[in-house]
Amino acid sequence: MPSTPETILKELKSGKFSPVYFIQGDEPYFIDQITNYIENHAISPAERGFNQLVMYGKDASMASVMTNAKRFPMMADRQVVIVKEAQNIQDLGKEEGDSMLISYVKNPLPSTILVFAHKYKTLDGRKALHKELDKHAILVKSDKVPEYKLSPYIEEYLKEKGFDIDTKACQVLAESIGNNLEVLTNEVDKMLINFSEPIKITTDHIQKFIGISKEYNSFELTKALSYKDVIKANTIIRYFSQNPKSNPLILINSSLFTHFNRILLVFGNKQSSERELAGILKVNPYFIKEYNIATKNYSLGKIIDIIGYLREADLRSKGVDNDSMEEFQILKELIFKILH
Domain ranges of the chain: 5-141, 150-339
When pLDDT is averaged across residues 96-114 and rounded to a whole number, the result is 97
Q: Provide the mean pLDDT of the chain.
A: 93
Mean pLDDT, range 261-271, rounded to an integer: 93
Percent of the chain scoring above 70 in pLDDT:
99
* pLDDT higher than 80, residue 85: yes
Q: What is the DSSP letter of 90?
A: T
Per-residue pLDDT, 113: 98
| 27/6 Cα distance (integer angstroms) | 13
**What's the residue count for the chain?**
340
177: amino acid identity, one letter: I
The proportion of the chain whose per-residue pLDDT surpasses 90, expressed as a percent, equals 78
119 φ/ψ angles, rounded to the nearest 5 degrees: -95, 150
pLDDT at 323 over 70: no
H/E run at residue 119: strand 112-119
DSSP conformational letter for 269:
T
Q: Looking at residues 295-319, what average pLDDT do you find?
A: 93
Q: How confident is the model at residue 319 (pLDDT cuts 50, 70, 90)?
A: confident
Cα separations (Å) of 161 from 36, 72, 149, 151, 290?
19, 38, 19, 16, 31
- Domain 5-141, CATH: 3.40.50.300
Which letter does DSSP use for residue 3 in this model? B
C-beta separation of 106 from 134 below 8 A: no
pTM over 0.85: no
Q: What is the pLDDT of residue 247?
A: 84
From the candidate CATH numbers 3.40.640.10, 1.20.272.10, 1.10.472.50, 1.10.3720.10, the one assigned to the domain spanning 150-339: 1.20.272.10
